[in-house]
Every structure is written in C-alpha cells, then in structure tokens.
Structure 1
C-alpha cells in the first residue's frame, strides 16, 4: 500500500530530478555565455592581433591560441542546445506533445531580424557592412528544424549525422560570384560576401549547412531529457556519447584521416605540436571542430546535473537570460571601447589595444560581475511576466 507520505516523497524527488535536469541546461548556457564574453572582449580590445581560420601557429602566441580555442565551444553548443530546447518545448510535461514548428519559425525569423539590426549595429555603431553571424545561423537553423521536426526522429537523427559527418566532402566545391549557385553555396557552405559592392555590403560569416546538422542532433538527442528518463541513465548516456565523440576525434585527427581541411604536423616544440593537433576550422565548422566541442559539451552537461554549488548557481543565472545577456554585453563592449578610444586614444594604428591576453580575462571578469544582477533581475521578471515576446530573450 502506498501512503500519502510516500506519494508526496516520490513527487518531491521527481520534481527535484526535473529541476536538476533543466537547471543543467541553463548552467551549460551560462558557461557558454561567459566563454563567449571572453572571445568578444578579445575581438573588441585585442583586435590588433586578429586570428585566422584555422589559426596560423607561427603567428599566434599560445595564450591567445588557447583563449580562442576555448571559445570554439560556444557556437556548436548554443545550436545543439537550441535543438534540445525545441524538443523540450514540444514535450514540456504530462500533456500531449505540441507541434514546435510555429514557435521555431517565429523564433528563427526573430533571431534573423535581431542579427540584422541590434546585433550588427552593436559591432561597429554604424551600417557599412551587414555581417550575418552566429545569431543568423541559429535563426536559419531553427527555420530548417521547423520544416523537419515533424519527420520521424530516426530520420532527423540520421540526417543530422549525414550533414555533420559528410559536409567536409563538399569542401572542394566552390563558385565564383558571377556563377549560378554562388548565393546558395555562400549561405549553406562557404563564408563569403553575398553583396560585395554598393552602399551596404553583406558578408555571411556562418554558412548554415553544418549548423542545421548540429541542431538536428540536439533535437534528436533531447528525449534523453524526458521526464520518464532517470538522471542516472541520462548522465551515463551523455558521458558515453561525449567520450565516443572525443575518441573518434582522436582517431580521425591522430592519423589525419578525414574531417579537417588542414592536417596537423610536428612543429618546433611540443606545445606548438599540440596547438597544431587541435587547430580546427570554424567557417564552416569542420567535423573535427564539431566532434571536439560537442564531445566536451555533452560531458559537461552530464557533470552539471550531478554537481550544484555557488558557481553553477551563477552560471544558471546567466544561462536563464541568454539573449538579454547577448545583446546587453555587445553594447557594453561597444560603449566601453568608444569611451576608451576617445579618452586614451589609439595605440595600434587606428585601434586601441590592451597589453596582453591576461587583460582579456580581467576585463571579462569585470563585465561579467557588472552584468550578473541585471541578468538575474531580468530572468525573474521574464518568468513572472505574461509577455510572450520576453520569452525570446
């Protein structure tokens, strides 16, 4: 016989499991956001030493290389978690599943609009070139998922794998600007200018095909976060998939078999050889890039569900208001840079630059601390508000 006390205890344990499951996603987002902040501080205050894609080992100091490599985690995990969250939106409780197509379509179009307006203006404070970057890629990936999410999960999973593992085969294909297919190929595979002349140029930095593969994988793996899946099974599965991804990467990269445009090679010293081995292409993201970032991300996602402390609580606050933080930090960086440039003046040509990579991390810590409470207040307000548009932030 099950007593009321037993039922209450069981329900409380279930609620705790659900909260832990969902909190781990926000904690993961929060970590991504802070790492992203590091990279954007670099692009704002250390741009006198821009990095190539993939990075040029001989011209990139080790501290800058590893700071940039750490930031590689951001885009793949943002896109993967977007797919995962779309499935959770469709399967948000004991009620019958709902169709996420409309939400994905509207959210995708909203993100593209935000990219073209608020985000693009925040980088330069003017419109000379319209850069279509990560928010554009997430938006277009969401629109693609809106068209594909009604298909059987086995199909979306297989299609995601085919895209992620197969898109490197398309690297030799390219089009010149005057050829038919150039616009399509620029959007889906090759980063390039969509419009290279005129009063407003348009540069596409994030070709979307690999990201469609990543969002499909996120959507397909998301049932691991269903209510009826135990935390032990979910964590074990995430650790196994993440570990398998890294093992496969070690084999493919170790023997330079397939999945990256540039082979690694033995450099002048051990550190530079390690740098060469993990020097992956991002535009578009190579198979090796995706295996590394998703492999590490899945392992962290499992660990974040196991451990809860003050640090994870802080990360959860940032992760609960990702778009709010994204837009806010870009304008904080823009205003801060303009003020420094106006008061101190340029010290590297037309640019102002900080003395070293350590300052990137220091500035990041200062800005993250300053934005913590605004994010916390906005997150609470968003949860209490009935305004549907706020949910997009």
Structure 2
C-alpha cells in the first residue's frame, strides 16, 4: 500500500482525518441545535432509542481524535525540516489563548439561550488549556512526554473518587482539571464547565509523542504497522477491562433483553470527563481509520471535501455555528415552536439530512477560503489560526 503524498507544508492524510472529525462535529451540532427536546445525557440515558444512541456515539470520535492530532501537528511544527528543531512553545501558547477567547465569545453569541447570565466552557476551552500546557511540556524529554501522557490517560480514572465541596480551596482547580460542573458565580453570571482538561492533556501528549510516525523519514509501511498495532491494543485492552467491568468506566455494563441493547450497554461510556474506556474506544477506532486514510491511493470527491475542511478546521467550526444559529431562527420564525418552547426536528433521520445540507452549504465557501489561506498564509500570520 502507498500513502498519500504529503504536500510541502501539510500532510494530506492528517487533513482528511481532521476533516472527517469536522463532519462528525457538524452532525453533533445539528443534533444539539435541532434535537435538544431529546436529551442524551452522559453516559447516554438507557431510555434513548438506538438510532439516536449510535448517532451520538459516532460523534464521540470527534474530540479525542482532534485533540490527539493537535498534539501530532505540534510535533510536526517543531520538526518541519529534517535535522532542525524549532520550539513550538510560543506558537502553542498564543494559539491556546486565542482558542480560549474564541470559546468564550462563541458561546455567548451562539449557544447561550440564557445570555448573558450563563457561560458554558466546552471543547475549545479544553483544547486551549491543553495547548497552553503543551507549550510547557514540549520542553520535556521526548520519552518523559510519552510516559506522562500514558500515565494520565491510563490512570486518571483512579482519581474519580477524589471530590471537593464548593467553597474548598481545591474545588475550582479540581473542577477544571477533572470533575467539571459548576465553577463559580460572578454576579449574575454562572460559569459552568463540561470538558475537564486533565484527561485531554494526556491525549494531546500522546499525540505529540506519536508525531514521529508522520515524519518524512518514516515510511508508509512502518506508520501503517504501528497504527494498526496501537489500534488493536487499544481495542483489545478495552474488551478486557470493560468485558469484566474491571476498570476504566464507573458505569458497569450488563446483558440486556436483546443484542442491540447489550451492545449499547457495553459501549456506553462517560465523556465528561472522558473515561479510559471512552478514550480506548475512540482512539482505537481513530488509529484504524488513520491507517485506512493513509493507504488510499486515489482521492475522490469525498476525500477532497474532507481534506479541504481539515485544512481550515477553525474557520469551518466558527462558520457552521453561525449558519446553524441563523437556520434555527429562520425555521423558528416560519414554523414556530414544534417541541415545547423550541423548534425541533421530528426524527433522527432528519438530523442526518440536515448535516448533509450543512456540508453542501459549507464546501464551496471552504474551498475558497482554503485556497486563500494556503496562498497568503506566509504574508498574513493570522491565517494560521484557522
């Protein structure tokens, strides 16, 4: 098998993988915007129908793969030229700060139904903090980075029993690192956090540690074999730990009335914070997807679309949120409240149809912006943030 040839400054297979994540993220956000009358919960509620359950589970791939690839991209930034190293510290720090600011602004303008009294810190918050932390950790010895990443990912579930009451000096730091939930109240503003950063920091460290797999000196066969091995180990470890309810997830699984419900019970993992089993499943699948993408010999329109989205992920992320917001209020104005006080879609199939329409709307715009970014990025530094 031959790998996709890397462009001078980008690796196509990484962009394609990141683009697939963006598409799955669109699916999740269509659900969040137009299907909020059916709450999924975390772990997913056992009353959820299979079509919604597996739609939600599919979108669970987004955060782990994206954050892992963020670490890999940081290593590639530091080792862009053979034999030369440039510190990614300042780049990571500035990017992390910008992402934190984008998270706060985006939430206030897009997601806050109770604006301006509620601030909900989500995935961009975790990514921003992880990049800031990686700006320091990237100075460590390469093997120390790998060991630290493994220890955090494999061991953070041991910390689950550790708990602090509101008002305790460690409550807010621990909520940011591991527990999430309500952080604080500032006047009329409630600040809540759903993405504790410690487990995600472990994931970004492992992504950085895996960076050499995509070095120009690493051939396609070596990379493929390594990714297959790692992916299989992740899934095998998951089957062992989860199969016997040993460790890695606080909610045990059990045999249900039929096969589908039993599978749902088995793979129903905690995302906030991500349990070890959650990370093993999503990254295990992700590594095998990377092998498949890396081995494709010819691009097709679907791959080209994913590569375009993946080369400008932040641009597509910001744009699609505002498109969804506009679409929601237009539909609300036309049809009114269809589910309680909100406009909502009637079934899960319509979520998928809406996602296809969203992709179709964004692709022409993304192509234009991607061409502009790749043409002008050396002259306009701000483009690197998109």
**TM-score of the pair, normalised by structure 1:** 0.94
Distance 1:29 1:203, change over 3 A: same
Structure 2 CA distance for aligned equivalents of residues 265 and 14 of structure 1: 41
Write out aligned runs for 1:1-393 (5 A): 16=5, 22-57=11-46, 59-94=47-82, 96-124=84-112, 126-196=115-185, 198-307=187-296, 308-385=299-376, 386-393=379-386
Preserved CA contact (<8 Å) 1:18 1:227:
no
Query: How far, CA to CA, are the matches of 2:153 and 2:363 in structure 1?
Result: 35
Of 281-290 and 199-208, the range deviating more from structure 2: 199-208
* Structure 1 runs (4+) greater than 3 angstroms displaced: 13-21
Query: Are residues 238 and 21 of structure 1, via their aligned partners in 2, closer, same or farther at CA, if it must alter by over 3 Å?
Result: farther
CA distance in 1, matches of 2:173, 2:4: 47
Gaps of 5+ in 2: none
Instruction: Measure, in 1, the Cα distance between the counterparts of 2:42 and 2:96.
Output: 27
Query: 1:51-108 CA distances to partner (integer Å, 9 max, x unpaired)?
Result: 1100121x10000000000010000111100000000001112351100000000000
- Displacement of 1:20 in angstroms is 11
How big is the shift at 1:196?
3.8
Contact 1:129–1:201 under 8 Å retained in 2: yes
* 8 A Cα contact 1:160 1:214, kept in partner: yes
C-alpha contact (below 8 Å) 1:107/1:139 kept by paired residues: yes
Q: How far apart, CA to CA, are the structure 2 residues paired with 1:364 and 1:284?
A: 26
The Cα offsets for residues 339-377 of structure 1, whole Å up to 9 and x where unpaired, read as 111221102211111110000000000010010011111
Residues matched between the structures, number: 380
Pair member with larger Rg: 1
Is the alpha carbon distance of 1:390 and 1:158 closer, same or farther for their aligned partners in structure 2, counting shifts above 3 Å? Answer: same
Shift of 1:302: 1.5
Contact kept, 8 Å, 2:37 with 2:344, in 1: the verdict is yes
Task: Give the 3 Å change call, closer, same or farther, for CA 252–15 of structure 1 in structure 2.
Answer: closer
Provide the secondary structure at the position in 2 that maps to 1:376: helix
Distance 1:14 1:278 in 2: 32
Query: CA distance change for structure 1 residues 15 and 365 in 2, over 3 Å: closer, same or farther?
Result: closer
